[in-house]
Structure 1
């Protein structure tokens, strides 16, 4: 099973009403087709109700912990919302300083 699928499986334990997992590895240095190292997660869940942003991130890190090891996921951008905050769009990721230049 791919790292992306494993991450989705673990994040689903937070009962999201909206979940996007985007593989952004292609925008980073040393990319090759099929590389899974950099992900962006957009998750909307009632599980985050009453939690500060850092606590929401801690919940995500807790369910993804074993995937955040050397040789697996190197970077995880997290955008965690409760349903009342979700406006249908998360911010764009910044360009990586080590991204391949066109």
Structure 2
């Protein structure tokens, strides 16, 4: 399973999102810190879930990072998180 698929599966299971995109942006970081041949090091997540209703932005981001703790400790170098409002979905 690719890292993109792993991230998608973990977030889908944990948060039951209304919208979820996992974008591998590794090629945009070629030659930068943490980049590896083959990519799968730099990701952007766009997520809309009712599980985040009432949480601060910091709490939302912490929840995503906690769900991906193993990946962030092992192979994912960078993660950009965009929490989308559920009212627009």
Q: How many residues align?
A: 85
Residue 22 in structure 1 maps to residue 26 in structure 2: no
Which residue does 1:47 correspond to in 2? 51
TM-score (structure 2 length as normaliser)? 0.86
- For 2:22 and 2:61, the matched residues in 1 are separated by 15
Residue 78 in structure 1 maps to residue 85 in structure 2: no
Give structure 1 regions of 4+ aligned residues with deviation exceeding 2 angstroms.
29-34
- For 1:76 and 1:8, the matched residues in 2 are separated by 13
Which residue does 1:7 correspond to in 2? 7
| Aligned alpha-carbon RMSD (Å) | 1.7
Gap regions ≥5 residues in structure 1? 89-102
- Residue 34 of structure 1 and its aligned partner are, at CA, apart by 2.9
Gap regions ≥5 residues in structure 2? none
Q: If each structure's helix is expressed as a fraction of its own residues, which one has the higher value? A: 2
